[in-house]
Amino acid sequence: MFTHPKTGMTVLSEGECWELLGGAHVARLAAVVGDELEVFPINVVVDGHTVVFRTAEGTKLAAATMARQVVIEADDHDRGTGLAWSVVLKGVAERVDDFNRIYQLEELALVPWDERPKQWFVQVTPRQISGRRFAAAV
């Protein structure tokens, strides 16, 4: 953890980033597919040092697994303390096809953001995770 003396912005450690992301539930997935940049809300769980979300066939699945890189962002703020945080994870997304792995993932508390049937798990392996905490005026 490092707090910038001028801006008051705190750079979070990798451990803090994972902890915040693990508690976030709701996050956003950004991915470039072809020429198009897409952003979707997703429900996430942290499994080891990977992020898993569930999705049906469709744009979100295609975007995640076709993209060369994806970004997952989660943030929140506490009106009580006036502090906000944001964690950004950059990595590669893969559809989980192995049945044993799917059974394991079913055990995770993976609550879908919407209640439509979600047939696929997508697992994002990070190449970079970063986060910051700062005073929020919201």
Which residues of this protein are in contact with a second copy, per CB under 8 A? 7-9, 25-26, 28, 30-32, 37-41, 43, 69-71, 73, 75, 77, 84, 86, 88, 90, 111-116, 134-138
What letter would DSSP give residue 12?
P
The nearer residue to a second copy, 51 or 71, going by C-beta atoms, is 71
What letter would DSSP give residue 116?
S
Least distance in angstroms from the C-beta of 71 to a second copy: 5
Least distance in angstroms from the C-beta of 102 to a second copy: 20
Token representation of residue 13: 């450690």
Distance CA 105, CA 47 (A): 9
Least distance in angstroms from the C-beta of 100 to a second copy: 26
The nearer residue to a second copy, 86 or 123, going by C-beta atoms, is 86
Distance CA 138, CA 111 (A): 27
Distance CA 88, CA 109 (A): 22
Least distance in angstroms from the C-beta of 101 to a second copy: 23
The nearer residue to a second copy, 43 or 123, going by C-beta atoms, is 43
The nearer residue to a second copy, 19 or 73, going by C-beta atoms, is 73
The backbone torsions φ and ψ at residue 63, rounded to the nearest 5 degrees and listed phi first, read -60, -45
End-to-end CA distance of the chain: 23
The radius of gyration of the chain from alpha carbons, rounded to an integer in Å, stands at: 16
